[in-house]
Structure 1
Amino acid sequence: MAEPVSSEVIISPGNSRKLKSNSEHSQCPTFVYLPELSSEKIGGKVLYSTDNQEDAALNLLKSCDPVWNDNALSLDKHLDGWETSSLSSQSCQWCIIQLGIPGVVYGIDVDTAYFIGHHPLRMSVQVAKLSTENSPKTSKKTSKEERKRLSEWAASKDWDELVPAQPLQPGYQTSCHNYFKISNRNSWTHLRFSIFPDVFSPGGGVARLRVYGQPAADLSCTPNDSLTDLLLLQNGGVCVCSSCPKMIQLASTLNYDDQSTTSDNTCTRPGENHLLPIFDLEKLKDTAVDVFWAVYRLGHPGIVKKIKIQTGKFDCQYLSFCRLEACLINRKQNFEDNGFEDKADLYPWQTLLPLTGLLPCTQSVFEITPPRHGGVITHIRLSLSLSAPNPVKHKLLSATLKRLHIHGYKCIPSFPKL
């Protein structure tokens, strides 16, 4: 069910999604560009851990990269991650994690960054699919009675083995990422992550646990006349391909509701709630413009009524533009085909939002007139056009957009019989 990915991949600690060169991107497993279903940003939670350290285990789900703690060598300090107690007598420590979004797991990255000499020798992952009613309710401060109830609940569930016990590499720069490719295509809601410390050094831990996959959202209970964000990750919207790895990194951050308690430092522009006027490409033909694009599959076919774009904090001395196109594709086709990016230009794209200039720290709303096919669409193509020198191009790309919302109504398309 799980296949370890070659350990010869060389990347810096905790930096699998921020590689610096195309060669490094080619070495990185393709599943790391899928949504991170376990991230705290989309609602991932640690329900229980056997070492009574749920707060420490929550570090596994952080979206940020692990950082080195200069005081980690002292007795009262811990590394950035889930570090179990050195006094524990158990041969195995485990925690129960509720995925932020139920989904199909395609790959797992167990990051042992900075855990050197006291990293777990092995780990395993088990999974379960539970309804909302069967999922345990937890509070911030878990009492002894609650811990006992959670322990009994975890023991009573039938857990399916997703990754059998596998060895882990130490947290050196060249070996900290332990990738496991998953072939099981069932959908899951919870997982039990187990680590097996060295019997001679029972303490230790893991920096991050990243679970990558496709969301399995169910919009069947959403009324057809209810305005819904069809692009939202929690509703099943997902980026299927892009022009380059940098673009798919950006695209994967645009379509989710941030459930974490941390806030960013993006400033706002009081009194300004608009973008620059729509531009004509012909007027920009003498300007050197690089185009980056990403294709999203909507969580459900629908009719788009409103688009909301929120820009990030970037240097407005460089020209930045965006365009949105839409098309209707038969969902019976295989959207996981690796060659989809090669076929993207062959589909009948219709303009949804013309080329539009962007200003930093701005939120804008556009009312949409439906395109062809009766207005029903299944895919969105986002194109970003940037006029900037190479040294700042990728930095500008990552900061241009912050959120993209596609609001519309669910609709079942009709396709002609062949």
Structure 2
Amino acid sequence: MSMITTSKEELMTKDPMSVPPDFLALPDLACRSLGGSVVAANDEFFAERENLISPGPPQFARDAFGHKGKVYDGWETRRRREPGHDYAIVRLAAPGTVKGVVVDTAWFTGNFPPQVSVEGTSLDGYPSLHELEHCDWTPLVRKSPVRGDSANLFAVDDDRCFTHIRLSIFPDGGVARLRVHGTARPDPRLLTGTIDLAGATQGGVVVACSNTHYSSPSQLLLPGRATNMGDGWETARRREGEKDFVAVQLGARGLIRRIEVDTSFFIGNAPGWARVLGADVPPGHPVPELDVAWREIVPKTKIQPDTRHILHIRGLEPATHVRLEIFPDGGLSRLRVLGEVDADDLERYALEWINALPEGHSLSAGSSSDRSDCVRELLGHRPLSLPGNVPRN
């Protein structure tokens, strides 16, 4: 684990796709707009725990006071007069591998916690608060100092998969936002049938983009419909060149059935046309450099403003990545890549998922106790691999 402290002004004035470290380009698995939830906090006297995962930067109203004191856009506990510390537990929008954490103390200057720690756990299904308080927790960020009114960034080096995150503050104080950047690794039992292969909760992630002037392209992969024009991806007005693009690594290799390009809320600034390319990339290939064999799966098509477009596919070849090109520029609210996970790759994904589970993960593999015993025995023989462990061509 390594730490970088960035002032609020520095973080807000830089393009989030270019700010080091690299984990900031990954989805925030804790964010409310993705489906995260703050399921518990031992104290929220001054400011509500739910503010921790609100999308967008923290706001500050200098003259806002309530009957409990100053109103903060964050989570704030009362001043502790006895030993101990405070904590909040967040359920991630999807199980995932955490690559970095941001503990943002924006606007907390005399009331921020001097130290914090972050832990993760993995539980199957929908655990109760009692189960969460008595399960095993894995340290992701050990007890570390933080600065006030700053975005405190911590890189995480752990390839295991977690469902919940616990933020502890020592001894008390306020935190504006908790960002948990990583890649979703959903339960393979949820990857059957036709799914959104590019969805952030299915493991889809943006790996390259030509322009992020107004907003992050990662918002294209959020679940649900956009709520306004700011809840999408919008480029600057292009004065030279012919197009902008975004490249997405799918959550799993699959057969694409159809593409959805949604321009909802983009009325005077929607693209004129769109084209979609696909690629079947071997594991480990440097896709961010775009040195891959792209093939056209949706030809250049006229796009209408404020419209949800369902686009037909040319052929049904497997793909691991898609590249959406817009001509010449503009904004989109959502991109959906609907299809089925390749059967062989689903089996491989399932084994990788099992290998990534922390030791304490309790897997409810069905109502049959015999089946559950088989799963527990399987977990005891990790790491697992396919027979022969033959890589895909």
Structure 2's unaligned 5+ residue stretches are 231-238, 346-389
Q: How many pairs were matched up?
A: 340
User: C-alpha deviations, 1:282-332, integer Å up to 9, x for none?
Assistant: xxxxx94442222211122222111111104345378633221001112xx
**Contact 2:267–2:306 (Cα < 8 Å) also in 1:** no
- Distance of 2:61 and 2:34 partners within structure 1: 26
TM alignment of 1:301-316, pairs within 5 A: 301-314=253-266, 316=268
User: Secondary structure at 1:40's aligned position in 2?
Assistant: coil
C-alpha RMSD over aligned residues: 3.0
Summarize the Cα distance change of 1:244–1:10 in structure 2 as closer, same or farther, 3 Å threshold. farther
Aligned to 1:191: 165
Q: Distance in 2 between matches of 1:317 and 1:158?
A: 50
Correspondence for 2:109 among 94, 109, 116:
116
| Corresponding residue of 1:370 | 315
1:380 aligns with 2:322: yes
Kept after mapping to 1: 8 A contact 2:47/2:74: no
2:56 aligns with: 64
Contact 2:48 2:74 in 1 (8 A): yes
2:220 and 2:342 mapped to 1: Cα distance? Answer: 23
TM-score by length of 2: 0.77
1:410 alignment counterpart: 341
Tell me which amino acid in the other structure corresponds to 1:184.
Answer: D
Within 2, Cα distance between the matches of 1:162 and 1:153? 20
2:92 is equivalent to residue 99 of structure 1 = yes
Compared CA separation, residues 367 and 53, structure 1 to 2 (3 A): farther
- Any conservation in 2 of the 1:11–1:19 contact (CA below 8 Å)? no
Alignment of 1:41-52 (within 5 A): 41-51=33-43
1:164 equivalenced with 2:164 (yes/no) = no
Residues 227-238 of structure 1 mapped to structure 2, 5 A cutoff = 227-238=194-205
CA–CA separation in structure 1 for the residues paired with 2:296 and 2:303: 18
CA offset at residue 36 of structure 1? 0.5
Q: Is contact 2:8–2:106 with CA below 8 Å preserved after alignment? A: no
**Alignment match, 1:340:** 287
Partner of 2:25: 33
Aligned CA distance change for structure 1 residues 11 and 323 (closer, same or farther; 3 Å): farther
Rounded to whole Å, the distance in 2 between the matches of 1:234 and 1:264 is 18
Which of 295, 309, 313 aligns to 2:247? It is 295
In structure 2, distance between residues paired with 1:111 and 1:307: 36
Q: Which residue of 2 aligns with 1:252?
A: 218
Q: Distance in 2 between matches of 1:235 and 1:334?
A: 20
Q: Distance in 1 between matches of 2:115 and 2:51?
A: 19
Percent identity reads 27
Task: Answer yes or no: is the 8 Å Cα contact 2:44–2:77 preserved in 1.
Answer: no
Matched with 2:14 is 19
In structure 2, how many angstroms separate the alpha carbons of the residues matched to 1:90 and 1:79?
25
1:66-100, Cα deviation, whole Å (9 max, x unpaired) = 00022346653321100112366453100111111
How many angstroms does 1:43 deviate by?
Answer: 1.6
Q: Which position in structure 1 is the counterpart of 2:382?
A: none
Q: Any idea what SS the aligned residue of 2:276 has?
A: strand
Could you say what secondary structure the match of 2:103 adopts? Answer: strand
Deviation at 1:42, TM superposition (A): 1.7
What residue in structure 2 maps to residue 3 of structure 1?
2
- In structure 1, the partner of 2:275 is 323
- After superposition, the Cα gap between the structure-2 partners of 1:53 and 1:104, relative to the gap in structure 1 and judged at 3 Å, is farther
| 2:353 equivalent in structure 1 | none
Structure-1 separation of matches of 2:243 and 2:344: 31
Counterpart check, 1:241 vs 2:208: yes
